[in-house]
Amino acid sequence: MEDTLTCPICEMETAYFDGIVFTCPDCGYEWSHDLDIKPKSGDIEDYTEFSELATLTIPFFKLEHGRLYECTVKHKMGLESLSIIPLAFKPGKNLQFIMTNARRLVSMNPGYVREIIQMDYDYIYNDGLRDDYPDDYDAMTTICATRDDITLLDSEDFEYFDFKITDEI
């Protein structure tokens, strides 16, 4: 029996059954055995855009790894200011982890943040944060894809833009 299968959204051949649902590690799509294909964000166009961006082999841009940025995030409830720290990129893909609400997490425990900054993509992806750190650090880490307009897009349709690097960290 094969351990992986093809994702119906991004068509990567790395999806797997986690015991409850089928999961694609490349685009984040989850589906049940009956293939009721509905993106988690509820907007097929935006989800498809993330999925397509996730399959690119080179990012459009890179924010400086491990530095604290102020930015604006657009989501279903509107716009808000947010601090982020760019973390690891997936080698050969347009996928990057970012830590959101980073300033708060740094103030809570700067040592944790410094350790997380040093982690590679696979370690973070494979629940390295969930196993080793308080829930806040896992919950505030998300996967994004870069766009050619110097924005980040995540699978939940959050758009991050207007990046301003700070002197912190």
Residue scoring higher pLDDT (101 or 160): 160
Residue scoring higher pLDDT (105 or 59): 59
pLDDT tier, 37 (very low <50, low <70, confident <90, very high otherwise): very low
Residue scoring higher pLDDT (84 or 34): 84
The string of DSSP letters for the chain reads --S-B--TTT--TTBEE-SSSEE-TTT--EE-TT-----TTS-HHHHHHHHHHHH-SS-S--PPTT--EEEEEEETTEEEEEEEEEEEEPTTSS-EEEEESHHHHHHH-HHHHHHHHT--HHHHHTTHHHHHS-HHHHHTEEEEEE-TTS-EEETT--EEEEEEE-S--
pLDDT computed for residue 149 by the predictor: 97
pLDDT tier, 40 (very low <50, low <70, confident <90, very high otherwise): very low
pLDDT at residue 71 tops 60:
yes
**Mean pLDDT, the chain, as a whole number?**
83
In the β-sheet with 30-31, what is the strand arrangement from edge to edge? 16-17, 22-23, 30-31
pLDDT > 90 fraction of the chain, expressed in percent and rounded:
43
pLDDT at residue 35 tops 60:
no
- How confident is the model over 114-161, as pLDDT tens digits? 999 999 998 888 877 776 777 766 668 889 999 999 999 998 889 999
For 131, list phi and psi in degrees, rounded to 5.
-80, -30
pLDDT computed for residue 32 by the predictor: 66
CA angle at residue 129 from 121 to 69, to 5 degrees? Answer: 65
Lowest mean pLDDT among 83-87, 109-113, 124-128: 124-128
> N- to C-terminal Cα distance for the chain?
47
Structure tokens at 140: 């505030």
